[in-house]
Amino acid sequence: MSLILKSFKALSDATRLRIIALLDKNELSVHEIQEITRMGQSRISTHLGLLLGSGLVQSRREGKQAFYRLNPELEENGKEFLRLAIQGARELPSHADDQINLRRVLSRRREQAQAYFNQVAGRFDRVYGPGRSWQGFGHLLLRIIPPLEVADLGSGEGLLSELLARRCKKVIAVDNSEKIVAFGAAKARKNHLLNLEFRLGDLQNPPIEPNSVDLVILSQALHHAQDPAAAITAAHRLLRAPGQVLILDLSEHKFEEAHKSYGDLWLGFAESDLNRWLEDSGFKKIEISVVAREEEPPYFETILACGSK
C-alpha cells in the first residue's frame, strides 16, 4: 500500500487526529496520551500502531517506556497530511480539553515531585516497619505548617479543620448544615480550639471577608456544590495574595449510585474542567494530578488540584 493510501487510512479516525495534534511539537508516552485523552491503554496502543504503520509517527524506547513523536523526515506529501490532520483536530469538540490536559501533563513532567511521591507511596506498605504509619507522617507534616489563616469550605464535621487548627493561626470551617456546624463548634470548644470557628454558609458565597485568608481548602466538597465554577471563583475572592487553593475531590466517574448513597451532585470532575475553572477564576501555577486510586469497585480516583493567587 502506498504512503498516500496508508495516510488516508491512518487519518480516517477522530481519535488518531487527536493523537496527531497532541504530538505536534511534543513527544509523549502511551501513559501520557492516555491521561490526556482519558482513553484506555489498549485503545491508545492500537491507534498508535496504525499511525506507526503509516509512517506518520515514530517511536523510541527509554527504559520500559515508549515515546512517540511525529516523523520529522516526511516528504512534502506526508507533511501536508499532518498539517491537514492537525487542522481537522482543532475542529473536534475534544480539542480544547486535550490542550488543557496536555499543558498539565507537560507541566507535571517538569515537576518531578509528584513522581517521587508516588515512588515513596508505593514503597510505604511494602515492608512493615514498627511505628511507621500514615498517621505518624501526618502529625510530622503538620508541624511544618506555618501560622496560616485557613478557610475549610464544605468542612463537614471539621476533622481536617481540627487538625489544621492545632498548628494554624486561624481556621474558618464553613458548611451548609446547621446541625453539622453546631456539632463542629461544640467539639471545637470541648477540645479548647479557640482558633477554630464554624460558620453556616454555602460554597458559592462563603461568609468570609474577601482577601482575608492565606489558604482555601475544598476537601471532597466541590462535588456537592450547585455551581463548582462559582465555588472556585469564591475561593479566589477570599484569598489574600499570595494565597493558595487546594481542591481534593473525585476524578470523573460513572457510579450513579453516588447521587443517592452520598448525596453527590456531581460524579467527580475531569481534570480539564478543574483546570479551566481555576484559570477562569484567576489562579496561576495550576497543578492537577491523581493522588490515590481505590483497588475495589467502583475504583474511585482522587485528584488534587492547586492554584496560586
Kindly indicate the confidence band of residue 61, based on its pLDDT and cuts at 50, 70 and 90: confident
Pull the grid cell for residue 9.
487510512
DSSP 8-state secondary structure symbol assigned to residue 116: H
Segment 184-206 mean pLDDT? 95
Pull the grid cell for residue 21.
495534534
Identical fold, 3-110 and 134-308: no
- Rounded to an integer, what distance in angstroms lies between the CA atom of residue 166 and that of residue 171? 9
Segment 177-182 mean pLDDT? 94
Task: Give residue 117's pLDDT.
Answer: 59
Bridge partners of residue 293, in order along the sequence: 301
**Are the CB atoms for 218 and 192 separated by under 8 Å?**
no
- Which residues, 6 or more positions from 168, have their beta carbon under 8 angstroms from its beta carbon? 145, 147, 148, 149, 150, 195
Among 47-56, 133-142, 147-156, the least confident range: 133-142
Instruction: Read off the pLDDT of residues 210-256 as tens digits, 9 standing for 90 and up.
Output: 999 999 999 999 999 999 999 999 999 999 999 999 999 999 999 99
Task: Give residue 160's pLDDT.
Answer: 93
Kindly indicate the confidence band of residue 77, based on its pLDDT and cuts at 50, 70 and 90: confident
In this model, does residue 95 exceed pLDDT 60?
A: yes
Pull the grid cell for residue 142.
503538620
Task: Give residue 135's pLDDT.
Answer: 78
Kindly indicate the confidence band of residue 173, based on its pLDDT and cuts at 50, 70 and 90: very high
Amino acid at 66: A
In this model, does residue 5 exceed pLDDT 80?
A: no
In this model, does residue 148 exceed pLDDT 60?
A: yes
- Rounded to an integer, what distance in angstroms lies between the CA atom of residue 102 and that of residue 1? 33
Instruction: Read off the pLDDT of residues 119-141 as tens digits, 9 standing for 90 and up.
Output: 666 566 666 667 777 778 777 88
Taking every pair of C-alpha atoms in the chain, what is the biggest distance, in angstroms? Answer: 79
- The CA distances from residue 30 to 2, 10, 40, 203, in Å, are 27, 18, 10, 38
In this model, does residue 279 exceed pLDDT 90?
A: yes
Segment 272-276 mean pLDDT? 94
Instruction: Read off the pLDDT of residues 13-50 as tens digits, 9 standing for 90 and up.
Output: 999 999 999 999 889 999 999 999 999 889 999 999 99
**Are the CB atoms for 218 and 249 separated by under 8 Å?**
yes
Residue 50: left (phi > 0), alpha (psi -120 to 50), or beta? Answer: alpha
Task: Give residue 145's pLDDT.
Answer: 83
Pull the grid cell for residue 66.
515508549
Pull the grid cell for residue 275.
483546570
Contacts within 8 Å (CB) and 24+ apart, 67-71: 67/27, 67/28, 67/29, 68/19, 68/23, 68/27, 68/28, 68/29, 68/30, 68/33, 69/23, 69/26, 69/27, 69/28, 70/20, 70/23, 70/24
Q: Is the torsion defined by CA of 263, 268, 274, 280 positive or negative?
A: negative
Task: Name the residue with higher pLDDT: 140 or 258.
Answer: 258
- What CATH class is the domain 134-308? alpha beta
In this model, does residue 66 exceed pLDDT 80?
A: yes
Task: Give residue 63's pLDDT.
Answer: 75
Contacts within 8 Å (CB) and 24+ apart, 136-145: 138/163, 142/166, 142/167, 143/167
- Tell me what the pLDDT averaged over the chain comes to: 89
Task: Give residue 229's pLDDT.
Answer: 97
**Are the CB atoms for 268 and 89 separated by under 8 Å?**
no
Give the residue extent of every domain in the chain: 3-110, 134-308
CATH number among 1.10.1840.10, 3.10.20.740, 1.10.10.350, 1.10.10.10, domain 3-110 = 1.10.10.10
- Which residues, 6 or more positions from 56, have their beta carbon under 8 angstroms from its beta carbon? 7, 10, 11, 20, 70, 71, 74, 78, 81, 82, 85
